[in-house]
């Protein structure tokens, strides 16, 4: 056989930072060389964690495919579209990008992919739900691959106490795409000597899964949509029971579950008295006799009353359940140490928002003092929350919760909430649908610092739009369209376009 006709097995691997792509490559190369094959691996790194995947490329050539035993084949350095036998993707959208690049072909390529999602920067920075639809991507993979192995390899790895590289390696073994028995795959893991027991467990589970044919590709739900839990019969604390009884007595049954969730949220945020205030606010909507409106009021008033401030952020970042979730997400073992470094960038308004109203107003009125404070506070800070000093700093800020009702930020938020609810209640007798859409517009207000300022600005524009649309036919649909446009991009371009299309007057 001439050198130009030597047949190699070409493998492309797409993995994000921290997913063990390099380990997977080392296993494939080590196994092939142990079996007497020639192997070469190269990689092109992505920009950073989730803005770009690293593409690894491996070529394998057996002894039989060499032109002569003493001649080493010349192998390529990068995958070529239409010339790849196996593509392994450690995340669903990376598999889709492999198809887009032409690396997956129906007549040749075995595609092994994890169906879980690691959201891109663009998806996470969209003000609304910016998540790409996974179902069409899964179908695209099935339509373009000769053989498809698709499942949640991350969950499978965690279930077996390992990492995703082990389950992907096992799926490769079970796919039959390489001419090596499963014992060869297991052998290289054993020779590696690190995490052997758990890696073999994940490998074997994934190999068994890969041998099962896929009738219809499925992907996991995004996790962004949640359903309100049923209102419990009994409260966890006796003091809360009267509030549950009030929900059942004074509110329509279709809104009970959302009221229960909202009540739990605002009491967790502040206290029992805050929960009573919450029910008082929602009760103002019962008289209109529309259960949907009451449920929307229960939802968005709870969100508004549990606004994000520095106190809330510090509290959430130090809760035990958060640490448990972080350990779960990174797959940490019981004897492994996990630490987080938190980034805070509070501006002067966030600092003043923690002060009593009178004192904060005096500081705001003093330009010199405000400037002096801004120079010292308006900069990013990194806090090592796993250290004693960092943890105590965050717990101190979280402890300011008991004085929250007297601070400037709370006063401003309560005024803003009352203005919003007054506007909704004024519109409701004339146009119930428009009033309900205005309740839903509270979705725009989220986060703190710059994020909160941008969202509040757009929310205020929609408050004005609701007044402009009051006498129009289809006003509710127009306001809903404006809200969706406002959630489409951070720059507000879509909102401006929709505003112009509705021929609404410009606002300051």
* Cβ partners under 8 Å of residue 3, min gap 6: 67, 71, 73, 74
Tell me the CATH class for 3-210.
alpha beta
Q: What is the pTM of this model?
A: 0.72
Q: Find, among 147, 85, 83, the residue nearest to 113 by Cα.
A: 147
Task: Give the tens place of pLDDT for each residue, 232-250.
Answer: 999 889 999 999 999 999 9
DSSP annotation of 90 reads: S
How far apart CA 429 and CA 424 sit, in angstroms, is 9
Residues in the chain, how many? Answer: 508
pLDDT value, residue 48: 47
How far apart CA 488 and CA 508 sit, in angstroms, is 21
Pairing verdict, β 54-61 and 38-44:
antiparallel
> Is residue 490 very low, low, confident or very high in pLDDT (cuts 50, 70, 90)?
confident
Q: Find, among 463, 424, 466, 418, the residue nearest to 444 by Cα.
A: 463
> Residue ranges of the domains in the chain?
3-210
From the CB of residue 262, how many other CB atoms can be counted at a distance below 10 Å?
28
Task: Give the tens place of pLDDT for each residue, 117-142.
Answer: 876 656 666 666 666 677 888 888 99
pLDDT value, residue 225: 60
* Cβ partners under 8 Å of residue 95, min gap 6: 14, 87, 89, 104, 111, 113, 137, 141, 150
Flag the least confident range among 112-116, 227-231, 328-332: 328-332
Helices (H), 318-430: 320-330, 348-353, 357-365, 367-377, 388-398, 408-427
DSSP string, 280-331: HHHHTTGGG--HHHHHHHHHHHHHHHT---HHHHHHHHT-HHHHHHHHHHHT
**Distance of CA 494 to CAs 29, 488, 503, Å?**
49, 7, 14
Task: Give the tens place of pLDDT for each residue, 41-81.
Answer: 998 876 544 446 788 999 998 877 666 666 677 787 888 89
pLDDT value, residue 191: 92
Q: List the structure tokens of 132.
A: 């790409």
pLDDT surpasses 80 at 17: no
């Amino acid at each position: 056989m001439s050198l130009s006709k030597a047949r190699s097995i070409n493998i492309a691997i797409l993995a994000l930072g921290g997913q063990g792509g390099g380990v997977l490559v080392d296993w494939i190369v080590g196994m092939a060389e142990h079996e007497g094959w020639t192997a070469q691996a190269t990689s092109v790194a992505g920009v950073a964690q989730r803005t770009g995947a690293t593409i690894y490329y491996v070529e394998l050539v057996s002894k039989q495919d060499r032109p002569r035993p003493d001649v080493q084949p010349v192998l390529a350095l990068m995958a070529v579209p239409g010339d790849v036998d196996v593509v392994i993707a450690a995340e669903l959208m990376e598999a889709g990008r492999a198809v887009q690049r032409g690396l997956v072909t129906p007549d040749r390529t075995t595609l092994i992919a994890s169906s879980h999602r690691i959201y891109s920067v663009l998806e996470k920075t969209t003000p609304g739900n910016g998540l790409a639809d996974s179902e069409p991507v899964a179908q695209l993979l099935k339509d373009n691959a000769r053989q498809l192995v698709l499942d949640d390899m991350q969950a499978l790895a965690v279930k077996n106490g390992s990492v995703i590289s082990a389950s992907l390696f096992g799926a490769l073994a079970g796919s039959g795409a390489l001419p090596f028995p499963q014992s060869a795959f297991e052998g290289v893991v054993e020779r590696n000597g690190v995490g052997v027991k758990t890696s073999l467990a994940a490998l074997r589970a994934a190999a068994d899964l890969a041998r099962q044919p896929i009738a219809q590709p499925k992907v996991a739900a995004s996790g962004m949509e949640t359903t309100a839990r049923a209102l419990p019969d009994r409260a966890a604390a006796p003091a809360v029971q009267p509030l549950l009884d009030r929900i059942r007595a004074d509110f329509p049954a279709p809104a009970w579950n959302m009221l229960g969730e909202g009540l739990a949220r605002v009491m967790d945020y502040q206290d029992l008295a805050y929960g009573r205030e919450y029910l008082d606010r929602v009760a103002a909507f019962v008289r209109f006799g529309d259960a949907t409106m009451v449920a929307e009021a229960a939802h968005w008033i709870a969100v508004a009353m549990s606004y994000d401030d520095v106190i809330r952020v510090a509290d959430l970042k130090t809760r035990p359940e958060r640490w448990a979730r972080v350990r779960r997400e990174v797959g940490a073992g019981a004897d492994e140490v996990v630490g987080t470094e938190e980034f805070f960038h509070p501006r002067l308004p966030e600092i003043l928002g923690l002060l009593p109203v009178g004192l904060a107003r005096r500081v705001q009125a003093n330009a010199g003092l405000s400037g002096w404070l801004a120079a010292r506070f308006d900069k990013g800070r990194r806090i090592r929350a796993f250290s004693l000093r960092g943890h105590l700093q965050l717990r101190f800020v979280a402890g300011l919760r008991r004085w929250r009702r007297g601070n400037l930020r709370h006063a401003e938020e309560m005024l803003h909430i009352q203005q919003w609810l007054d506007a909704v209640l004024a519109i409701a007798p004339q146009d119930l649908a428009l009033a309900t859409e205005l309740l839903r517009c509270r979705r725009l207000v989220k986060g703190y610092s710059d994020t909160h300022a941008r969202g509040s600005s757009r929310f205020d524009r929609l408050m004005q739009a609701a007044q402009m649309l009051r006498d129009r036919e289809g006003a509710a649909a127009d306001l809903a369209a404006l809200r969706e446009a406002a959630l489409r991009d951070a720059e507000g371009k879509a909102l401006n376009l929709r505003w112009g299309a509705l021929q609404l007057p410009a606002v300051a």
